[in-house]
Amino acid sequence: MSPVTACLLALLTVGFLVVKQDASVLQEVEADALVVQEAERGVSETITQLTQQMQACANNKDLDCILVYFDDDVRTMREGANLEIGKAETRKHMKWVEQDLDKTKDILEITPSTDESIVVERLQITLKFPNGTLVYNWKGLFVWKKVNNDYKIYIDIFNDN
């Protein structure tokens, strides 16, 4: 075998080993990504279920039921208002729940933190009179915090769309 052929063969062998190693690393990365996606899907489903349960409370005009989903120290931020802390302060901004309105809450996006202790949910809430006339069209965020293996709304931000 000529030195050139031997050298080319050596390069091909090394190249094959590098490609094989890269493929192995790529498979590990893809497997890790699948685990993360599955975890995110589980958290997203949990938050979606909690939001649907809150929607049922709103449909029943039950403000106390909704407040169960809020952390005791919830931070409430509304357009043109000061930061307010606590469920009692949040209650002041939720009187619409008790009114005779059609309430629609659309989840636009759910993004968990890598350790799943915090989840950001982007929403749009529409309120209409029974005749279909638009009353409010809000956009906002809920920041859910994991508390004792359950999620509670820790930050509640909404403003007019």
- 59-74 pLDDT, tens digit each: 888 999 999 999 999 9
More confident call, 161 vs 51: 51
Q: Stretch 45-62: mean pLDDT, rounded?
A: 90
Residue 38 reports pLDDT greater than 60: no
Of 11-15, 57-61, 136-140, where does mean pLDDT reach its minimum? 11-15
Q: Is the dihedral of CA 45, 141, 76, 57 positive or negative?
A: negative
* Structural domains in the chain plus CATH codes: 3-160 (3.10.450.50)
**Tokens coding 12:** 């091909």
Beta-sheet pairing, 118-128 with 102-112: antiparallel
Give every CB contact of residue 86 below 8 A, 6+ residues apart in sequence: 72, 73, 74
**Cβ-contact 82, 23 below 8 angstroms:** no
d(CA 98, CA 82): 23
Q: From residue 24, how far is each of 9, 12, 15, 32, 34 by CA, in Å?
A: 22, 18, 14, 13, 15
Q: Is the dihedral of CA 34, 35, 41, 45 positive or negative?
A: positive
